[in-house]
Amino acid sequence: MARNTSIKRIIDILLNKNVDEIEEKKKKSARKYQSMKPMTKNTKLKELKDASLLYVPLSQHIGSPAIPVVEIGDYVKKYEKIGEVSGNISANIHSPVSGDVVDVVEHLVANGNKVKTVIIANDFKNKEENLVKRELRDLKLIKKDEIFKIIKEAGIVGLGGAQFPTYIKYDIKFRKVETLIINGAECEPYLTSDYSVMKNYTREIFRGLKVIQKLLNPKEIVIGIEAENSELVEKFEEMGKEEEFDLKIQLLPTIYPQGSELQLINTVTGKKVRKGELPLEKGVVVSNVSTVKAIYDAFFEGKPLIERVVTVSGEEARNIGNYKIKFGTPLYHIVKELKIQNEEKVIFGGPMMGMEIFDSRVPVIKGTSGILFLSTEEIERKNCISCGYCVEVCPMNLMPFEFADCYEKGKYEQMVKANIQNCIECGACEFVCPSRVPLIESIKTGKAILSEMEENK
């Protein structure tokens, strides 16, 4: 619900400025979004029926795509590795089902790019690779190098959105970790997948933390939970006693974008980390709750990362809730299974930072925390009126209107001087803009152009 309180902040700003017309519009938006998280928050976690055809991208992470280790005609088992780490930063990819590899082809993913994808025809037999299961007592005997290998082999990446390979993040060398922060702050409207994980897999999270503790040996471990989810505190306190594990629980203000890594670190530790600076340089490591659950699965169950909890919600959705969905599941299968008839606007992720989908064959991947079916609205774009609202709501203290102006005039180098690299693309600036200036489009495209200019130097 992070955006809910953000909207309230925005309304307060506008009220203080006495902008009556915008005030009424934002009040309507606030009433609308305040009801979004409760739609799915307390629904029972379900498992979506598997698709007959799965499109499994070999790039579901930051860094180099995995190299395919299967060919057309191969038979693969569930959990079998189909993509191997490539380069310094990469992650393994595994088959979510058993069946035949029918193609290895360039295929569209949510960000609009085409990446090498293994297409698997599901035989629905769920023949599995042999899995190595472990007990808690094994954790005392196993060496750190072996744990790193387990995490790497499982293809675990950050499931909070960054999708950075976890085995690389945890390779701290000789540095000391003062604070390990577990991110349970789901800052986008609609999304309750992490809440569902915390509610349904509390013990698994604690045992996953025991694995991470052996690797990082932090002075303290803190889990950040938004105040609106305070009912989880008692559940975590009780489990901490059962598991004999010292976990500090910190309730966080429900302010968008509280779940952003930089904001979370500042709230929990008081330390300020600049965009582009590694949190480890400040003695901090941050991991999402779903990532911790994936580490539990890898170590204790022997399971690689092949599925996640995804929130399916929105005004146009039927059968909304939180579902376990396998990676590679195409959008058209989800629409069919949940009997969704009106697909005006589909977003993978949240409404603030998610990506609109225009092809029903786009698959769920490791970073897909939500699938939203929203009603469309005609937006009239106008010129910037220099009201300054975007500056007031920017969590990074930037001046977003400068980016739009530079982008429109083609002055891309000036975007660097305006610190565009510090923008976290949270979307708060565009949401509050009374002229509906496409600020995020300017920022994202501007970054892409600057990156291309840098490569061509």
Q: Is 426 annotated as a binding residue?
A: yes
Q: Are 138 and 302 in contact (CB under 8 A)?
A: no
Q: Is 406 annotated as a binding residue?
A: no
User: Could you tell me what percent of the chain has a pLDDT over 70?
Assistant: 91
Q: Are 269 and 19 in contact (CB under 8 A)?
A: no
Local confidence band at 89 (pLDDT 50, 70, 90 cut-offs): very high
Listing DSSP states for 392-445 in one string gives: HH-TT---HHHHHHHHHHT-HHHHHHTTGGG-----HHHHH-TT---HHHHHHH
- Could you read off the pLDDT of 298-345 as tens digits, one per residue? 999 999 999 999 999 998 888 999 999 999 999 999 999 999 987 678
The 3-state secondary structure of 334-362 reads HHHHCCCCCCCEEEECCCCCCEECCCCCC
Q: What's the pTM value of the predicted model, to 2 decimals?
A: 0.85
pLDDT score of 430: 81
- The token pair at 85 is 């780490």
Domains and CATH numbers, the chain: 46-130+305-372 (no CATH), 136-301 (3.40.50.11540), 389-456 (no CATH)
Q: Is 390 annotated as a binding residue?
A: yes
Q: Is 429 annotated as a binding residue?
A: yes
pLDDT score of 377: 67
Q: Is 187 annotated as a binding residue?
A: no
- Could you read off the pLDDT of 7-26 as tens digits, one per residue? 444 444 444 444 444 444 44
pLDDT score of 18: 40
